[in-house]
Amino acid sequence: MATVTPPVQRADAVTLEVLRNGFRQICEEVSITLLKTAHSVIFNEGKDLSSAVFDHTGRLVAQDMQGCPVHIAAMSQSVMAGIEQYGTDDLAPGDVLLINDSYAGGTHLPDVTVFAPVFWEDELVGFVANRGHHTDVGGMAPGSMPGDATEMYQEGLILPAIKIFARGERCRDVWNIILRNVRLPRNTLGDISAQAAGVQTGIRRFHSLLERYGPEMVAWGIDEILAYSERHMRSEIARIPDGEYGFADYMDTDGVTGRPVRIQVTARKAGSEITFDFTGSDDQVGGAVNCVESVTTSAVYIAMLMMTDPDIHPSEGAWAPIHVIAPKGSVVNPREPASTVSGLTETCNRIIDIALGALAMGTPQRAAAGELGSCNVYTLGGVRPDADGVTQPWVMILNPKGGWGGMDGKDGWTAIQDPLSNCRNHPVEALELAYPVAVHRYELRTGPEGAGRRRGGYGLRRDIEVSQACVLSTCLDRSTIPPFGLFGGSDGAPNLMWVKRAGATDWEPLPARMSNMNLGAGDVVRIDTGIGGGFGDPLEREPERVAEDVADGYIDAGTAEAVYGVALQGGAVDEPATAALRARMRAEAAPFASPHPDRRPAFTPA
């Protein structure tokens, strides 16, 4: 039963907090609907999705905090594209829209956004949206992640903002076009239907808030949520010392000529505002590492949430004091039809790292060394008979986790998803049940890389055998230039892939970006995900921590001596020998020489 709407004048902080959490709860319930009803493993196991609520103008009000952070800025631009396409006068209750265009607020084509307008008493009051990574949207390679693409048309079906439901009626022609252009029409039908069901759940929950508080109070709450977010973010930015910060890093290759791609940022901070200027970054390239402006902006927002209070409510207001300059025609803001398929999965990670590295001198207590730096996407695809003996295509898409960089107060996280995606692990049982594969090895990848006062987190090693002929596509980065260390920490270890052919004993290295390499039954694919960079001088790491790492099997006693200057005797620290060893190592230390010296933070105080 609806309650009487209180006058706006009686609204208080408690009501505002209830409304704020009410909007967040809407997002969480939308995501739960997707998880329980979607068909694809990447949805229901990997949770490669996100949900959000917007006001009637398209301003972000709330986002599922357990979803993919990279959708923060990009999804709102997709909703705005829908508003521009149809205008609010041509939207009606029961309409549901879909879009995946990378150049209209998308991320890459497999990320499909479904959203719907919310009406109350015939008035448009907001939008509910979700975005999920589809297993396949067509294109030149199963899984629609061809790391060697040179234009977006090779990546898959491109869809501007279109209605898939109009006034509650399914737009069958649109559905038919979509399903005819993908390799897994049954999965696609199930996943889009799950997304549509998710927004219907969100609309019902939005209506519940309107019934309880009335449209005036809810509208007031939205404005106050955005204003609160802005005040919170401004207060955090004000803590960063004023001045100019700089950092640069590289993509391994442009995907065509093999040359590295440089991305640089200058962050200018004054008072409670900050501007990230990417002027000086390389021009857009012929390969797939171009990063559309919406993703570049999202990457900056992610970095700022990591460098500030994690309790900041992510809404449009939080981004008001953050400005991004991304020159048109550059690798961080390309022109159509440049390929962008790995601009999200790889370049976005690099931009997050660069933003964090730039601010490291101003906020070292929250800075982090370079993380694995890649979603490590690789796909397997082929055909097999179904239960009725009819040949059907199958596609498996994976994005295994890795190590994050060391931080001021703690070692880097181990076997964690990269910061843009927040996806879940794909369990071995789910993979073997759904696909013709067997997982032979799944373990931590450790080593001496990423040494520091706080070492980098470790990666993963996974071996997967295919039981029938199929094709393999890879879309990785940080396979040549490893994650960077900070403040004297060592660089981490790169992401690497191999294949061992059936009956062979040797592993063959695989290119980081390729599509449709043939595999035969019995071939085994291996991935080693990256180890994060170290933070601080390794000779300052507590000897007891080094001894624990040796006891845990992360490093051996030789590494403890050679890298950390810690001598062990019977597993325990030999303190006199350690003190003497470290003194000698400090005296003999050579000046740091890096092939990429600009991968170090620069700061000019105001």
Stretches where the chain sits below pLDDT 70 are 1-11, 591-594
Are 503 and 544 within one domain?
A: no
In a domain, 568, yes or no: yes
Task: For residues 514 and 559, state if they share a domain.
Answer: no
409 with 475, same domain: the answer is yes
Cα dihedral sign, 185-188-194-196: negative
Same domain, 516 and 600: no
Task: Read off the pLDDT of residues 525-554 as tens digits, 9 standing for 90 and up.
Answer: 999 999 999 999 999 999 999 999 999 999
CB-based contact 320:73 (threshold 8 Å)? no
Q: Are residues 529 and 599 in the same domain?
A: no
> What pLDDT score was predicted for residue 404?
97
- Specify the pLDDT at position 46: 87
Distances, alpha carbon 387 to alpha carbons 39, 61, 391, 430, in Å: 17, 46, 10, 19
Closest by Cα among 496, 490, 247, 534 to 374: 496
Are residues 518 and 545 both part of a single domain? Answer: no
Distance in angstroms (rounded) separating the CA atoms of residues 575 and 585? 15
In the prediction, which pLDDT does 289 show?
Answer: 97
In the chain, the number of structural domains is 3
**Cβ 133 vs Cβ 111: under 8 Å:** yes
Instruction: Indicate if 185 and 200 belong to the same structural domain.
Output: yes
In a domain, 349, yes or no: no
Query: Which one of 536, 564, 583 terminates a domain?
Result: 536
Rounded to whole angstroms, what are the CA distances from 343 to 78, 114, 279, 299, 471? 17, 22, 18, 11, 23
Q: Which domain holds residue 217?
A: 8-234
187 in the same domain as 92: yes
Please indicate, yes or no, if residue 253 is contained in any of the structural domains.
no
Report pLDDT for 589: 85
Residue type for 478, please? R
Query: What does the alpha-carbon distance between residue 449 and residue 465 come to, in Å, rounded to a whole number?
Result: 28
Cβ pair 51, 256 in contact under 8 A: no
Tell me, yes or no, whether 352 lies in a domain: no
Does 559 lie in the same domain as 511? no
- Judge if 79 and 134 occupy the same domain: yes
> Whose CA is closest to 473, among 46, 107, 70, 110?
110
Q: Is residue 390 part of a domain?
A: yes
Phi, psi of 379, deg, nearest 5: -130, 145
Q: What is the pLDDT of residue 593?
A: 66
DSSP result, 505-519:
-SPEE--SEEEEEEE
Residues 532 and 544 occupy one common structural domain: no
User: Taking the CA of residue 99 as centre, how many other CA atoms within 13 Å lie in the half-sphere pointing to its CB?
Assistant: 27
CA angle 460/495/343 to nearest 5° reads 120
Q: Which residue has the tokens 């596609």?
A: 395
Q: Side-chain half-sphere of 413: how many Cα atoms within 13 Å?
A: 11
Strand order in the sheet with 162-166: 60-63, 49-55, 123-133, 111-120, 96-99, 162-166, 169-170
In this predicted structure, what is the pLDDT of residue 594? 67
Task: Identify whether 262 is part of a domain.
Answer: no
Taking the C-alpha atoms of residue 261 and residue 281, their distance in angstroms, rounded to an integer, is 8
Q: Which tokens in the block code for residue 424?
A: 């879940």
Residue type, 449: E
In a domain, 299, yes or no: no
